[in-house]
Amino acid sequence: MLDVSGLDLHYGDAQALAGVSLHAQAREIVVIVGANGAGKSSLIRTIHGMHRPSAGRITFEGIDIAGQPSHQVVERGIGQVAEGRQVFPNLSVLENLEMGAAPRRARAQEKATLERVFGLFPRLAERRRQAAGTLSGGEQQMLAIGRCLMGQPKLIMLDEPSLGLSPAMTQEVFRVVRQLHADGLTILLVEQNVMASLKLANRAYVLENGRIVLSGTGPELLDNDGVRQAYLGL
Amino acid sequence: MSADPGQFVLTLLQAVAMGLLTGMVYGLMALGLSVIFGVMRVVNFAHGEMMVVGMYLAWLAFDRLGLDPLVSLPAVAAALFVFGYVLQRTVINPFIGLPEHMQFMLLLAVAILLVNACLAIFGPDTHGVQVDYMFDSFNVGPLVLDAVRVYAALVALLIAGLLWLFFTRTRSGKAIRAAADNHVGALVVGLDVKRLYALTFGVGAACVGAAGALMLLIVQVHPFLAIDYTLLAFVIVIVGGLGSMSGALAGGLLIGVSEAVAGVLLQPSLKSVFSFGLLILVLLLRPQGLLARRS
């Protein structure tokens, strides 16, 4: 479904990604782990069209989307739940969700999708008139995921969705990710919660200093000594 | 100034009423500036120039076609919308996010081009319109209100209301607010931010174009009004609170009233003393502006 090969990204003279290649098959959960500054968010944002890569290919459903602007990438069916949630604080919960239906593709079933999102997150239905900035961190994360679903993505990229959340909320986020996967979505997950996310992973990659240094199935990486030392402290 | 205190109060009230009416048009003009700044953080230094272009377009419609500015207003606003949209898409967009002094130079250049184009085409003389209700007036209690000002104020209020509906009820309007609220968030959900910015500049330009058509009912146009209106729009927006729509309208009313009252208390040529005095007061006491959402 998604194929990234030889991806380079530069910020000015600084290289953020170097020859990154990864692959996600339809209905897989693919996990990317790595330290802060390893380039995880840069990778997600480059796939999403927010950064223009200096080299490499990003193929989604057989079409090269590298360098396309975000709104076209989203239109093709790639959704992002961004780091820091990135809700619209002064817009109501409902308006935030409406904005999620930005792709034309998603407009026809907007009402039905909204009901589905409210079914998944009843809290959002209760607070639909409230400004998004007044929600708790966990509720904002639900809103960010709900907003992404409003665009009816086929592939959903989640960038550190549990960051800054309570353990209970973190569990809730992982429950939702499993649910979305069960519903047939392909998931690309970037997480600092390495143990929990690798357990979910069909396929996983370790990113260090902008390079993929290790890849394999989730269980393989969980058993890898380097991963255990560096990310699990075992 | 009359020696009779009752007469003096009446004169003052009369000035306040006139100021409020003119202030609505000022408010609409400032609304355009505020919308543009609030969404893309670009200060439109060509705002007064665009106002004057709107005035000249309305004057042309009157002079060539005999159209009342209230009638030609939608066409004038539409023309300014297209101008603003194209200007943003072609010239201003590459400067978004660049240092402010570079944006300033660019928009100053646009301002100079516009004002000199007006000068080249229409010359330095003043032009005005004569509508048949020019000398009509409404009596409200002891006050006498010029019909032209009343109509101009009502239409300005109507347009502000339409703008509010646009921003709260339409998908494009909400998307513009979303892009203003969180630029990264807008990219994340897949809003076409460049198109929204162009739309915003178009809407802001349409506001000021409409304000220009209305203003032509009240004053005569000449190219050098432009710089005054740019300054006035800044004063209003800063007094009301940058990026706040209600602030722009309230600031417009306040400046309209202060100018009119200054005309009574001092003399009309000193009217700017009051508005700049107000600006200094606001900057000293409440630098975020009177109705700013956050400090």
- Report the C-alpha gap between B193 and B185 in whole angstroms: 10
Q: Are B250 and B44 in contact (CB under 8 A)?
A: no
Which percentage of chain B shows pLDDT scores above 90?
81
Q: Are residues A158 and A69 in the same domain?
A: yes
pLDDT beyond 50 at A186: yes
Sign of the C-alpha dihedral computed for residues A30, A33, A37 and A38 taken in this order: negative
Is there a contact between B175 and A99 if contact means CB atoms under 8 Å apart?
yes
Select the more confidently predicted residue: B84 or B244.
B84
Residues A8 and A118 both lie in one domain = no
pLDDT for residue A73: 97
- Tell me what pLDDT residue B10 has: 92
pLDDT at B293: 65
Choose from A71, A83, A156 for mutation: most chain B CBs within 10 A. Answer: A71
pLDDT band at A234; cut points 50, 70, 90: low
Q: Are residues A210 and A99 in the same domain?
A: no
Contact B177 A90 (CB under 8 A): yes
User: Per the CB < 8 Å rule, is B191 touching A73?
Assistant: no
Res B268: pLDDT:
79
Is residue A73 domain-shared with residue A173, that is, in the same domain? yes
Please check whether residues A10 and A126 belong to one and the same domain.
no
Averaged pLDDT for residues B156-181: 96
Please give the CATH architecture assigned to the domain spanning B5-285.
Orthogonal Bundle (1.10)
- Judged against a pLDDT cut of 90, whether residue A226 lies above it is answered with no
Domain interval for residue A160: 1-77+154-234
- Give the residue-averaged pLDDT of A158-187: 94
B244-250 average pLDDT score: 90
**Quick one: A228 and A168 in the same domain?**
yes
**Rounded Cα–Cα distance for residues B198 and B226 (Å):** 23
* Extents of the domains making up chain B: 5-285
Mean pLDDT of B56-78: 97
Q: What is the pLDDT of residue A170?
A: 92
Domain count for chain A, please give it: 2
- The CATH number for A26's domain is 3.40.50.300
Q: For residue B294, what pLDDT band results from cuts at 50, 70 and 90?
A: low
pLDDT at B3: 64
**Rounded distance between C-alpha atoms, residue A84 and residue B142, angstroms:** 60
What number is the average pLDDT over the span A209-226? 91
Residue B295 confidence (pLDDT) above 80: no
Checking if the pLDDT of A197 tops 70, the result is yes
The answer on pLDDT for B242 being more than 60 is yes
Inter-chain residue contact A75 with B190, CB threshold 8 Å: yes
Give B21 to chain A, closest Cα distance, Å: 31
Per-residue b/e over B127-156, b at no fewer than 16 CB within 10 Å?
A: bebebeeeeeeeeeeeeebbbbbbbbbebb
The answer to whether the CB atoms of A50 and B187 lie below 8 A apart is yes
* Interface residue B183 vs chain A (CB under 8 A): no
N-term to C-term CA, chain B: 41
Instruction: Looking at the structure, tell me whether residues A160 and A141 fall in a common domain.
Output: no
Longest dimension (CA), chain A: 50
Across the range A197-215, mean pLDDT stands at 93
pLDDT tens-digit series, residues A133-146 = 999 999 999 999 99
Residue recorded with tokens 């993505």: A153
For chains A and B, CB pairs below 8 A equal 68
SS3 readout for chain B: CCCCHHHHHHHHHHHHHHHHHHHHHHHHHHHHHHHHHHHHCCCCCCHHHHHHHHHHHHHHHHHHHCCCHHHHHHHHHHHHHHHHHHHHHHHHHHHCCCCHHHHHHHHHHHHHHHHHHHHHHHCCCCECCCCCCCCCEEEECCEEEEHHHHHHHHHHHHHHHHHHHHHHHCHHHHHHHHHHHCHHHHHHHCCCHHHHHHHHHHHHHHHHHHHHHHHCCCCCECCCHHHHHHHHHHHHHHHHCCCCHHHHHHHHHHHHHHHHHHHHHCCHHHHHHHHHHHHHHHHHHCCCCCCCCCC
Tell me the pLDDT band of A232, cut-offs 50, 70 and 90: confident
- Does residue A70 share a domain with residue A18? yes
**Which tens digit of pLDDT belongs to each residue from B195-231?**
999 999 999 999 999 999 999 999 999 999 999 999 9
**Whether residue A160 sits in one domain with residue A72:** yes
Closest CA to A17 of A34, A31, A38, A32: A38
Distance from CA of B194 to the nearest CA of A (A): 10
CB contact under 8 A, A91 and B190: no
Specify whether A73 is located in the same domain as A4.
yes
A107/A56 same-domain check: no
Q: Identify whether residues A138 and A230 lie together within a single domain.
A: no
pLDDT of A32 = 95
For residue A225, the model assigns a pLDDT of: 86
Q: With a CB-CB cutoff of 8 Å, which residues 191-210 of chain B face chain A? A: 191-194
What digits encode the pLDDT tens for the residues B268-289? 788 888 889 999 999 999 988 8
**Interchain contact, B181 vs A70, CB within 8 Å:** no
> What digits encode the pLDDT tens for the residues A48-98?
999 999 999 999 999 999 999 999 999 999 999 999 999 999 999 999 999
